[in-house]
């Protein structure tokens, strides 16, 4: 990924997080909202694991694509999708 693409994603993430009305949520709810935004934009969870959206009949919104994969393996998958 290009440096410019990453900068745009980071700015977009920061703008969305700033729009959250913190007073409406508990700390745990806020954390989940921020992580959801993060995974939507960066396609990684906060542990650095590549995530994909689940199918409609699966539980949750995200699942780890390949548990235990390396960052290099995740980057190969991301680059293949470009």
For residue range 6-22, what is the model confidence (pLDDT) as tens digits? Answer: 889 999 999 999 999 99
The whole-model pTM stands at 0.64
pLDDT mean across residues, the chain: 80
pLDDT per residue as tens digits for the range 33-45: 998 898 888 877 7
Q: Are 58 and 74 in contact (CB under 8 A)?
A: no
Beta strands in the chain (DSSP E): 51-53, 62-64
């Amino acid at each position: 990924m290009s440096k410019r693409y990453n900068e745009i994603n980071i700015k977009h993430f920061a703008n969305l997080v700033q729009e959250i009305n913190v007073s409406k949520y508990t700390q745990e709810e806020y954390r989940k909202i921020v992580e959801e935004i993060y995974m939507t934009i960066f396609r990684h969870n906060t542990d650095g694991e590549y995530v994909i959206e689940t199918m409609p009949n699966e539980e949750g919104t995200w699942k780890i694509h390949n548990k235990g994969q390396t960052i290099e393996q995740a980057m190969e998958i991301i680059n293949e999708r470009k």
